Amino acid sequence: MKLTQGVRGIGLVAGLAIGGAALGACSSGSSSSSTTAGPTSSSGIPSTSSTTPAPSTTSTGPTRCTTAGLVGSIVGSSGAAGTIETTVGLRSTATTRCILGGYPGLQMLGPGGATLPTNVVRKGNYSFTSMAPTTVTLSSGQSAYFNIGYSDVPVGNETSCPTSASLEVTPPNATDQLVITATLSPCGGGTLVVSPVFLAAGSNSQSTAPGA
């Protein structure tokens, strides 16, 4: 009888010990936590960063002069020793500045607008057409110019040379045309030598035909 009570006492003590250990383990597990924090500054305060893109700056200059914004006319002409020099002006009617640069296109027209044989040569050997191309900026009402040179002496089997009533001009880098009154009689199959556009106040203004 005493032995039985002793065994029961030992079992009770053992059970209490095991229960206490289990409670300790649960208490320890419930007190642990995991915290994820962002980067902190040297003062220990979490830092925040934001990236703001710098504003873009785009500078736009004058755009190409449109054909509709140009008015053409013959502004000067002279001739000597069978060589004819004619200067054409292109006046800007745009409300803002615009640019032109390079060589114009040409097509001679007869009465009623019929096309005539026209052979356009850029630069050529004339002193008034052989200047280097430049880009010119026009304000409203300002003009750019180009020179045309040709021979009015028939060559080869030619007995006469085509004579225009008007001239179709394609401004540099354009695809549409304007028409001006112009009487030109180039021989050599209607060969016209053309200069690039220039400003009368520019370095090549001395190449403008007399009377311009």
User: What pLDDT score was predicted for residue 80?
Assistant: 82
| Cα atoms in the Cβ-side hemisphere of radius 13 Å centred on 29 | 6
User: What pLDDT score was predicted for residue 209?
Assistant: 52
83/51: higher pLDDT: 83
Say if residue 195 is exposed, middle or buried (CB neighbours under 10 Å; 0-12, 13-18, 19+): buried
Task: Tell me how far the alpha carbon of residue 44 is from its chain's centroid.
Answer: 53
Residue 186 has pLDDT above 50, yes or no: yes
Q: Is the alpha carbon torsion for 101, 103, 107, 111 positive or negative?
A: positive
Q: What is the pLDDT of residues 155-164, one digit of tens each?
A: 999 999 999 9
Q: What is the pLDDT of residues 14-38, one digit of tens each?
A: 443 444 444 344 444 444 444 444 4
Q: What is the pLDDT of residues 193-208, one digit of tens each?
A: 999 999 986 555 556 5
User: What pLDDT score was predicted for residue 111?
Assistant: 93
Residue 12 has pLDDT above 50, yes or no: no
